[in-house]
Amino acid sequence: MKLKAKMTVNDRIVDDNYHRSLSPGMVYSVVQIDDEYFRVINDDGEPILYPKALFEVVDPSVPEEWVTITFDDGEYFIGPAEFNKTGFYEDYFDGVADAVDKFESFRKEFGLPALKARKNIPEVYMMDAKGKLEELLKKYQKQVQFEALELTSPDQLGVDQDSPFHLACWRGDIDDANIMIAGGADLNLAGDLGDTPLHYAVRMQREDVIVALLAAGAISNLKNDYDDTPLDIAENEGNQEIIALLTR
């Protein structure tokens, strides 16, 4: 099954307080269907659940070998039999070897987009990345904008429509930013007024954070709600060092 994303550039895709990458007009492959959601391979190569209303179906065909499981409450799952087991995707995202191996074999067999690896992250941050991130989020949980949430991701948006990752980049906390990058933070997450973490790092002239974001693969020409890119902000500030970083 193939779907086309319907939302506009500045819409935010939020599911259980998570934001994941989709692009308007792009076509995506479905790997699971349930009563309210499609699980699709997104721009980062991740199999993420999104509300059905975000898409239009462009190819409704479903592989014959997929199975349907119906529950007593009327909910259902349609997908490959080995992935319809309770907790499969939780295991996949937790890095459980059996789940990862099964899904990556499926990805390769059907020619699905590859998982995008984070680039140029210092090894010290990659070691026990999940554990470091969990501890770090406990610190951010104490911030007033996140008090009403149970933080489990650096991408969750607080009451100010910014995430812990935005806050780390705004503050210029390079250690926190690197831990979040290693832990899978969305490098191009749109926060308040459409600003990405890179917009914030440029606005606050956090050069080391800018370098880390660009090295990890952040997109440098995304526009916020005012149609400003990070480069526009740097040029307005006349910061030649940051302009050089963004244009090299």
Could you tell me the CATH number of the domain that includes residue 190? 1.25.40.20
CA angle 200, 135, 16 (to 5 degrees): 65
Position 114 in a domain: no
pLDDT for 136 equals 96
**Where is the domain boundary, 76, 109, 142?**
109
Does one domain contain both 98 and 184?
A: no
Gap between the Cα atoms of 213 and 119, Å rounded: 10
pLDDT surpassing 80 at residue 127: no
Residues 165, 186: contact at Cβ < 8 Å? yes
Task: Please answer whether residues 125 and 155 qualify as being in contact, where contact means their C-beta atoms are separated by less than 8 angstroms.
Answer: no
Tell me which of 109, 135, 155 is where a domain ends: 109
Q: How confident is the model at residue 117 (pLDDT cuts 50, 70, 90)?
A: low
Residue 139 pLDDT > 90, yes or no?
Answer: yes
Q: In a 3-state reduction of DSSP, which class is residue 227? A: coil
Confidence of residue 20 (pLDDT cuts 50, 70, 90): low
The answer to whether residues 128 and 104 belong to one domain is no
Domain shared by 84 and 151, yes or no: no
Closest CA to 44 of 129, 128, 125, 107: 107
pLDDT of residue 205: 97
Is 89 inside a domain boundary?
yes
By residue range, what is the domain housing residue 231? 123-247
The percentage of residues in the chain with a pLDDT greater than 90, rounded to a whole number, is: 50
- Domain-embedded: residue 116: no
Per-residue confidence at 13, pLDDT binned at 50, 70, 90? very low
- Which pLDDT does position 239 carry in this prediction? 94
Least confident of 125-129, 155-159, 223-227, 239-243: 125-129
Instruction: Give the rounded distance of the alpha carbon of 206 from its chain centre.
Output: 22
Average pLDDT of the residues in 15-35: 72
Residue with tokens 């020619």: 111
Segment 165-174 shows an average pLDDT of: 97
Q: Which helix (H) or strand (E) holds 104?
A: helix 97-109
Please determine, for residue 15, whether its predicted confidence score (pLDDT) is greater than 50: no
Same domain, 99 and 171: no
Give the separation between CA 70 and CA 17, rounded to whole angstroms: 26
Q: How many domains does the chain have?
A: 2
